[in-house]
Every structure is written in C-alpha cells, then in structure tokens.
Structure 1
C-alpha cells in the first residue's frame, strides 16, 4: 500500500512543469522532496493531492487511481498542507482546526471532533491561540493552525488502509524552534504508521528528519535515496549550483551540509 505517481506529467497552462516522473510514498516513512526553485516540487504535491490532474500517467492511492476514490473516503486518508492557505472568514483558530473533521462528521459526534481539534492545536503549539481570530495571526501562526487542521483531518485512522500527509514547504514561515516542532510532528505521524511527504528547502532539515530524499530538477526526479546516499557534494553542486562540504554525524541522523559558496558556472 502506498501513494504512488507513475510516469506523471503535470502541466500548468501550456507549459509542462513536472515530469515525466515516478515516485512512491510508503507508510511509516518521511520522504523529503528538495530541489531548486522551479523544479516542480509544488506541482508534484498538487498532482499527488489531486489538485491537478496529470496530462499523462496517473496517481494511485493504495492501488486505486486517485480520482476514482469517493471524495470523503479520500479525505479520510489523504491530507495536504499548501504553502499558502487563504481564509476570508473570521474563524477562530479552533474553528479552523475543526474544519479538518468534516470528512468524519458522522463518526464520533461534535464533542469528539472538538477534542480532536484541541489535540491537534496542542500538537502544533497553537492551543493558546484557540480563541484568536485567524486573520489576526502572524504568518507562522497561521501555518501551524493550518497544520492543526490537516492533522485533525487525519487524526482518526480509516477502517482500512493508511493515512498520507503532504506538506508543501511547511517550515517556510516558521521560526527555528517551530520548524523542528513541525518536522518532529511529521516523524511522529510516520511512527504511528502514516506516510509523510514534505517539500523542504533546507537540506539539513531534510537530512535530519527524512528517511528518504527525492531530488527534483527541471521537473524530473534526478535522485532518490537515503540522506547519506543523496546528499553528496557533486549532486548538490550540479543541482543547486552550490559548493558544499558534507560531514557525517555519528551522533545525529543524516549528514551535515555546510555551504562553501556558489559553484563555478560551466564554460
């Protein structure tokens, strides 16, 4: 069982933004997707979540084409946190988290849904914002409240199958402490049997928290493997145009990437 993209091509307008590429997200793992700007990372998330249909190829959720799943059943298994989540209403943070319980409206009742929403706020360190109006929150606070909404959506395991969490740059607007909190929550979700795909720009965060890293460049997946196997000076130089030193850390998961300056442009 997995969430799998099979030879997909994703287009926006008249241009291809990702693919053809194949990628599999498996329960119990954190898969980090990295790559330079414009590499197709967000487009891949859009395809995996069903926001964008693939021009060719397809996405399969546990062996079944994603678009063939009934919307409620799919939402009970697959949740996505986008880079930016707009909300024009003056909901409180608790009400935003409670929106994530919509796919489970008939399963436990309002009181149990409220308990889950509060637990999700606690998991994202936003419980103190429960009564605050969402539009008054900072960018980082909004991002964590939105994560609470997605966690609330996936809090209850489905009767069969697994849960899949897609995070598109979840640390972009967060301070250092909350970057680690969010990724620690992602690791906990994977330990509980869920699957997490997260787009990251910080290679050291990817090295620390991911079981596998997929490197995208110009819409293609150029390498997939463990952080130690993927994060090499040559690959980083060729993909990101950056000279680095990569140090092993026996006492920590994943290597340490130290930037040394921009790589020389090819003649």
Structure 2
C-alpha cells in the first residue's frame, strides 16, 4: 500500500550535490509495522520525508494506495496518511484537546464522532488527564504523547476501502521507559486494526519488540531488510554502528535482544 522505488535524493551544497538516499526501495504492506534503523545521518528522516511526500526525490517513484503519491491531493492524502515529524512546533495557546482535534480536520464525521475519537486517542497515549491543559505548558515528553494522539486521531478509523498509514520520526525520543513500551504496544495494536506504520527509531531492542519488518540503513543506502531475526545480526550491526553487540533471545517474546 506504500511503495518506494529506486529513490535517489541529494542536496546541493556548493558546487557538488551531496547524496542523501541512493537507490532506496521499500514496500510497506497493509497492517505492517516497519521500523527504519541506522546511525545519525544514515538517511532515516529523509526516507520518511520522501515516503510522506514532504520531499520530492530527484528520481524514483512513491506509490500510495495504488497511485502515485504526487498525484494525490493534500486533502485526499490527509484522509489516509498522518505524519509525526521529529519536532512539532506549535506555539499557540491551544488546549491539549484542541491540538488532538486538529487531527480530525480532514474528516467530515461530525463533532460527536470526532470528540469520541479524540478521547480514545488521548487515553491510548496516556494523555487524557492533560486534556484541559495548555499545550505550551507541557513537558517535552507530554507534548510528544499529545502529538502522537493527534496523529492517531487522524487515521483512527477507516471510512472507505483505502488503506491507512502513520509515518513517525523517532516517536519515543523524549519518552520515559514506560511510555516507550506503551508506544511499542500502541503501534502493534493499530497495525492489527489495519493501519500500517513506518517509523524511525534508535532503540534496537524496542524496534525488535514491535516491528514486522526492519530496514537497516547506512550512508543513504538500505543495507538489510527483513524480520528482526534476519536483520539484527551481530556482524552486520557492528559494521553499521561501529559498536560490538552481543545478541541473546528475550525469554518472554522470543525476539532478539541486544547487549553492548
């Protein structure tokens, strides 16, 4: 339902273009959680920006729900795709409830349904107790959970036969350990309801916990794609991250767990 084919992206700095993404191919299936991994500067955020249509690549194509993403109108895309960037700048004195309600703007479902969805989204991100607070007064982690609620509210339910996707750039970066675990479970829950997820993360163990598919990037290229068991190989990770990892099996989930 989301396909990136032969993506090439570079930025012009001085006389020579600097390559950012090189021949990137990625397929995100309906109801799948895809986590993009890699060191700083690997191209993770650029990949997500191309996938969302924020950045147009020099060559290659992005297809979404069977058509070119570039041919989708913003209003049409907003009905089925929600994006959470690394930083969400909002300096207006909106209440938390008003911020999350912004996610319902593309829809014409009525105030009663929208308010119910906002309530569910706030509860799912442990933000309901913040509902009446001013957004600008919140801590960094609270703001991140509220923004996640806004994004989820945008694609909370399907109103037609087209697939939904959320694109999240490091959604757990400002969160404590308990809320990181909450987000991992939340992504799995929404994927089981048919909403695809593509997200960038730095925590390899958290990625292994929630991902159906991992995409390991380095220097703008995809080095490996596959299940956590296939991608999280000690030698490959050491080559990409320049850190020695020791891999064990988590006793409860049976998934890879990395020590370094």
Please give the TM-score of this superposition, normalised by the length of structure 2. Answer: 0.96
| Corresponding position of 1:6 | 5
Give unpaired runs (5+ residues) of structure 1: 260-267
Q: How does 1:177-216 map to 2 (within 5 A)?
A: 177-216=178-217
Query: Secondary structure of the residue that 1:195 maps to in structure 2?
Result: strand
Q: Is the 8 A contact 1:207 1:253 kept in 2?
A: no
Deviation at 1:249, TM superposition (A): 3.1
| Corresponding position of 1:167 | 168
Q: Is the 8 A contact 1:118 1:127 kept in 2?
A: yes
Structure 2 CA distance, aligned partners of 1:226 and 1:44?
Answer: 19
> What's the RMSD between the two structures over aligned residues?
1.1
Q: Is the 8 A contact 1:31 1:213 kept in 2?
A: yes
Moved more, 190-199 or 4-13: 4-13
Choose from 24, 27, 44 the match for 2:30. Answer: 27
Choose from 101, 104, 113 the match for 1:101. Answer: 104
Structure 2 CA distance, aligned partners of 1:36 and 1:21?
Answer: 17
| Corresponding position of 1:59 | 62
Deviation at 1:111, TM superposition (A): 2.2
| Corresponding position of 2:49 | 46
Structure 1 CA distance, aligned partners of 2:159 and 2:106?
Answer: 11
1:118 and 2:123 matched: no
Question: 1:115-155 CA distances to partner (integer Å, 9 max, x unpaired)?
Answer: 21111111100000001111100001000100000111001
* Cα distance change on mapping 1:32 and 1:98 into 2, 3 Å: same
User: Runs of 4+ in structure 1 displaced over 6 angstroms?
Assistant: none
Structure 2 CA distance, aligned partners of 1:56 and 1:103?
Answer: 30
Question: 1:155-206 CA distances to partner (integer Å, 9 max, x unpaired)?
Answer: 1213122111111100100000000111111100100111111111011011
| Corresponding position of 1:222 | 223
Choose from 76, 81, 84 the match for 1:78. Answer: 81
| Corresponding position of 1:243 | 244
Query: Secondary structure of the residue that 1:185 maps to in structure 2?
Result: helix
Q: Is the 8 A contact 1:228 1:255 kept in 2?
A: yes
Structure 2 CA distance, aligned partners of 1:93 and 1:253?
Answer: 38
Question: 1:93-116 CA distances to partner (integer Å, 9 max, x unpaired)?
Answer: 100000000110x2x212221121
Please give the TM-score of this superposition, normalised by the length of structure 1. Answer: 0.93
Query: Secondary structure of the residue that 2:159 maps to in structure 1?
Result: coil
Query: Secondary structure of the residue that 1:95 maps to in structure 2?
Result: helix
Structure 1 CA distance, aligned partners of 2:254 and 2:190?
Answer: 18
Deviation at 1:250, TM superposition (A): 5.2
| Corresponding position of 1:265 | none
